[in-house]
Amino acid sequence: MHPSRQLAPVVFVMNVYYTGLGIARNLHGRGVDVYGLSSERTAPGMRSRFFKGIYMVPNGRDEPAALRRRLVEIKQYHMEAPVIFPTRDFDVLFLHEYRHQLSPFYRLPQNSAVTCLLDKLELANVARASHVPIPATHACSSHEELERGIGRTAFPVVVKPRRAYQWRQRGAWEAVGARKAFLVESADRLRSEYQRLAPVSPEILIQEYISGSDTDIVVCCCYINGRHDLLAHFTARKLRQNPPLFGTGCAIEAVRVPEIVPLAKRLLQASGYSGVAEVEFKHDKSANKFYLIEVNPRHWDQHELGSLVGVNVSWVAYRDVIGQTPAVQAPVYQSTSLYRWIAETEACSLILRSAYVQIQVARELSGQRGGRLTRYVSVACSVLAEIFFLSKGHKIFGIFHLRDPVPGILLCVRGMRELFRILVRYAASACGAGAIML
């Protein structure tokens, strides 16, 4: 790539998937060039017209020192120090660890308080001290501590890593069953799960479970500056997660939830954090109380949803980081309109997962041949109803965009290829077990 002659600092985005594409779209047309940093050549965003260019870089999770060297190398192509936005916890940790080496070359958007927010136990302590409701939380790092914890635990509980990235490290994700967190109903089950987790993650977090559905999870999405002023915010609720309960939010709706804004602001101020953040709560309807679940101290997948209600978190963050004074942005919700962000891949996966479960139940309940067709028609109607529900309102898709069709086409090709593999595996498994029941 040739050196950039643009006077405005460029932006480097440490991912070219949902989150990175959202940042590039939010900054498009504002006189800012956005470059993607990617270690994956097949990512759909590699062909997006919203990126000025793509730099191939080492994976920061596996080769952080090599990534640091590469970033210093590519800085020479740009006159002004670029703004660099992380999109994953590993990116946040990388920028924190190499802050002193990179700060002469880059504008880093977060301060050192990220370590507090990424540590769920420390976050819980800050929340309690700030009078922000949080489920009862304690850590266990040995069998002895586990037994003591069981003695003061009311089941069911949620088991999660103390730091989310601990379960995302190489080898650990498979060992924990590709789960971000999971529900445990009994002491015996907790002991069994800990026996499985201890070799890869000896320290776990045990947290009181707040009952409710995925739609009871709400988020305050915001940008807070170095003086701890809330410069931009909007609120939203999750409609669907894949998998349900503890999965990735694949359908999010912008809604007015004014109760959580002061809670999020107070928490971020108490932690000393400045930067982009998503603060997640769960609404306990029985107590009419919002409990803190976690904080993402970075851009997250659904941040682009804010643009539908008049809040461009990326633009506010960019202007503040380069030393300008952005105007405060507050959301404007329309009671007659729906504003949604959809992760097409995850949403399709959730629909297929649900259909598969319903089909399995239908097969088990099939007693008489005459009732089978009715049950399968019911499954088809359920799938169509879900598609219709998700298609309502004004939408932003994670990848698909009318002005940028190539990433969507690539995603569709990849999805069809993966679906074909799944169907082949399913057919092979069914044939191995015997004739497929219709």
Over residues 190-208, mean pLDDT: 88
Whether residue 126 lies inside any domain: the answer is no
Residue 200 lies in a domain: yes
Question: Is residue 367 domain-shared with residue 266, that is, in the same domain?
Answer: no
CA 160 to chain centre: 15
Can you give the residue range of the structural domain that contains 238?
214-341
25-39, 182-196, 227-241, 345-359: segment of lowest average pLDDT: 345-359
Same domain, 332 and 230: yes
Consecutive H or E run containing 159: strand 157-161
Closest CA to 75 of 47, 101, 48, 51: 101
Whether 247 and 270 have beta carbons less than 8 Å apart is answered as no
The token pair that represents 182 in the structure block: 């999971």
pLDDT single digits (tens) 294-344: 999 999 999 999 999 999 999 999 999 999 999 999 999 988 889 999 999
- Whether residues 236 and 296 fall in one domain: yes
Q: Which tens digits make up the pLDDT trace of 370-380? A: 566 777 788 88
Provide CB contacts within 8 A for 185, sequence distance 6+. Answer: 155, 156
Does one domain contain both 293 and 406? no
Percent with pLDDT over 90 in the chain: 63
Q: Is the pLDDT of residue 87 over 80?
A: yes
- Tokens 């026996």 belong to which residue? 195
DSSP 206-257: EEE-----GGGEEEEEEEE-TT--EEEEEEEEEEEEESTTTSEEEEEEE---
- Of the three residues 208, 234, 250, the one that is the final residue of a domain is 208
Judge if 329 and 226 occupy the same domain: yes
For residue 186, being part of any structural domain is answered with yes
389 and 414 in a common domain? yes
Q: State the pLDDT confidence band at 366, using cuts at 50, 70 and 90.
A: low
**3-state class of 277 per DSSP?**
strand
Count the domains in the chain: 4
Q: Are residues 222 and 330 in the same domain?
A: yes
Residue 281 Cα distances to 132, 151, 295, 354, 373, angstroms: 10, 27, 9, 25, 42
Residues 282 and 241 in one domain: yes
Query: Are 252 and 310 in a shared domain?
Result: yes
Q: Which pairs with CB-CB distance under 8 Å and at least 24 residues apart come from 406-409?
A: 406/47, 406/48, 406/49, 407/21, 407/44, 407/45, 407/46, 407/47, 407/48, 408/44, 408/344
Query: In the chain, how long is the greatest CA-to-CA distance?
Result: 74
Judge if 86 and 41 occupy the same domain.
Answer: yes
